[in-house]
Chain A
Amino acid sequence: MIQDLIDLLRIIVFPGFLFFAVLGLFFEWIDRKFYAKLQNRVGPLYAGPWGLFQPFADFVKLMAKEDIVPEGADRPLFSSIPVFALALSLFAVLFLPVCGAQGVLSFEGDLIVVTVILTFFVILVFLAGFSSASRYPGVGAERSVLQLLGYEIPLVASVLGAAAVTIQTEGSLQIKSIVETQSSWWSILGIQALGFAIFLLAAQAELERVPFDIPEAETEIVAGWLTEYSGKKLALIRLAKDIELAFLCGLGATLFLGGPQPILPGFVGALSSTIIFVIKSIIVLLILTIIRAAMSRLRIDQMVNFAWKYLVPISILQLLLAVMVPRLIVI
Chain B
Amino acid sequence: MGLVDWARIRSPWVIHFNTGACNGCDIEVVAALTPRYDVERFGIRLVGSPRHADILIVTGPVTKQVEKRLKRVYEQMPEPKFVMAVGNCCASSGAFRNCYNVYPGLDNVIPVDVYVMGCPPKPEAIINGVVKLIEKLRGGAS
| A contact residues vs B (CB 8 Å cutoff) | 32, 36, 39-47, 51, 53-54, 56-61, 64-68, 136, 218-219, 222-223, 226-231, 234
Determine if B48 and A47 form an interchain contact, defined as CB atoms under 8 angstroms apart.
no
Determine if A67 and B78 form an interchain contact, defined as CB atoms under 8 angstroms apart.
yes
Interface 1/0s, chain B 1-33, versus A by CB < 8 A? 001101110110000000000000000000000
Size of the chain B interface, CB-CB below 8 angstroms: 23
Q: Tell me, rounded to whole Å, the shortest Cβ–Cβ distance linking A221 to chain B.
A: 8
Q: Tell me, rounded to whole Å, the shortest Cβ–Cβ distance linking B11 to chain A.
A: 4
Q: Which residues of B contact A136 (CB under 8 A)?
A: 49
Give which listed residue, B3, B40, B48, B78, contacts A230 with CB less than 8 A.
Answer: B78
Determine if A58 and B11 form an interchain contact, defined as CB atoms under 8 angstroms apart.
yes
Number of residue pairs spanning A and B whose beta carbons lie under 8 angstroms apart: 93
Q: Which residues of B contact A46 (CB under 8 A)?
A: 10, 41-43
Determine if A234 and B51 form an interchain contact, defined as CB atoms under 8 angstroms apart.
yes
Q: Which residues of A contact B49 (CB under 8 A)?
A: 136, 218, 222-223, 226-228
| B contact residues vs A (CB 8 Å cutoff) | 3-4, 6-8, 10-11, 35, 38, 40-43, 47-49, 51-52, 54, 76, 78-80
Determine if B51 and A32 form an interchain contact, defined as CB atoms under 8 angstroms apart.
no
Q: What are 20 residue pairs bridging A and B, where the CB atoms are less than 8 Å apart in the complex?
A: A36-B38, A41-B35, A41-B40, A42-B38, A43-B38, A44-B43, A51-B43, A53-B10, A60-B7, A61-B4, A64-B7, A65-B54, A65-B79, A67-B78, A218-B47, A218-B49, A223-B47, A226-B52, A228-B51, A229-B52
Closest B residue to A58 by beta carbon equals B11
Give which listed residue, B8, B35, B48, B76, contacts A218 with CB less than 8 A.
Answer: B48
Q: Which residues of B contact A57 (CB under 8 A)?
A: 6-7, 10-11, 43
Complex A-B, nearest 4 residue pairs according to Cβ-Cβ distance, in ascending order: A218-B48, A60-B7, A66-B78, A230-B51
Q: Which residues of B contact A47 (CB under 8 A)?
A: 10-11, 43
Q: Which residues of A contact B42 (CB under 8 A)?
A: 45-46
Q: Known contacts A57-B6, A60-B3, A61-B7; is A42 also within 8 Å of B41 by CB?
A: yes
